[in-house]
Chain A
């Protein structure tokens, strides 16, 4: 049996977390378990307006953890995130599913988290100062800390960041894999390459093989070929009803190449 507790502020919600509690975002993952009679003992909700906060201007965008995919799509200044949000679920799921929930949604979900990791986003935890890299939180998925907001560095141009999702059913299918790349360049050379994968490990993760191949190079055919060849390095994809681990590793390079070629064309 699941009980539901609602708190006016995030600070109070944070204090109520702990034994048997899960924080309730949009519920698109949690309610499935509740409906199946396998929900957590306690659902903790909060009506704190900070959860829905959208600060879309400036070099760093700040989004409350309770911001939905639909809300992101409605914000012109968040255009760099639109192709990601648009590819998550159908209209109903986008009206309900939050950014915070996407960080901890199980395989094959977490497409938004993939984009955030590539962008080097940081999570602000409720009741704590400072912010921690989103990728660090991926290691704490068994007991997620309560996320209040996410800070996302805005790419300087549309060419710097791109996201690609591969699914069998269109629109609305879940990921065979997803991949995002953030490739800032200085003087024609990539500096600080970040590549992130979804559905290629226990949680969304960095693609270190591809990053190494891209770093310091120009985004040209030779660099892209090298990155594609090293794409699967360090990835540990699961086998599920959509694809086998072998298949996912086999096609990782193909899809990374398509993503990078799209970025090269601009």
Chain B
């Protein structure tokens, strides 16, 4: 089966790897590129654990063809921190205990980042809507929603 070279930008850096025929972007990122932050929950679009940003918008990497990422800007939770300095959202998640097992966290973080990039002062309803494609089996969502609102507040003050 032919392998296809895929060149794309991953968290601001030029990146390239070979994709297998019909391979999804999640599997490609995890196995061929080595970014383990997007998670495999269901492979069916239901959980949002595999969420990545493509050209700034949340996509389910498990339902995206790896080769469709060619030439596009992909962002994952691995790209949020700058060296040892965590992203505001990551700080807020820590403060609010918004991660328990942490499996949903990378997907939650990038969905929240897409929201704040577009809408720096979201209402609570807008936060809930933006996270509605991401399931969490641990936290009951409240701490996550509070964390995103906190991060938005800080950003507005800064």
Contacts and interface: CB of A to CB of B under 8 A. Distances in A.
A92 B60 contact: yes
A57 interface: no
Interface of B: 1, 21-22, 24, 43-45, 48, 51, 54, 57-60, 62-65, 67-68, 111, 114, 128-130, 132-134
A231 to B, nearest CB: 30
Please indicate which of the listed interface residues B45, B48, B64, B133 has the most CB atoms of chain A within 10 Å of its own CB: B45
Contact of B1 (A1, A93, A96): A1
Interface stretch (A27-35, A58-66, A113-121, A143-151): A27-35
Contacts of B67: 4, 6
B87 to A, nearest CB: 19
Given A4-B22, A34-B24, A39-B22, A90 B63 contact: no
Interface of A: 1-4, 6, 24, 26-28, 31-32, 34-36, 39, 43, 45, 70, 89-93, 95-96, 171-172
Contacts of B57: 70, 95
Contacts of A35: 24, 43-44, 62-63
B39 to A, nearest CB: 14
B22 A2 contact: yes
Contacts, number: 84
Given A1-B1, A91-B129, A171-B132, A27 B111 contact: no
A70 B57 CA distance: 10
Given A31-B24, A45-B68, 4 more contacts: A32-B44, A35-B62, A39-B22, A89-B45
Contacts of A2: 21-22
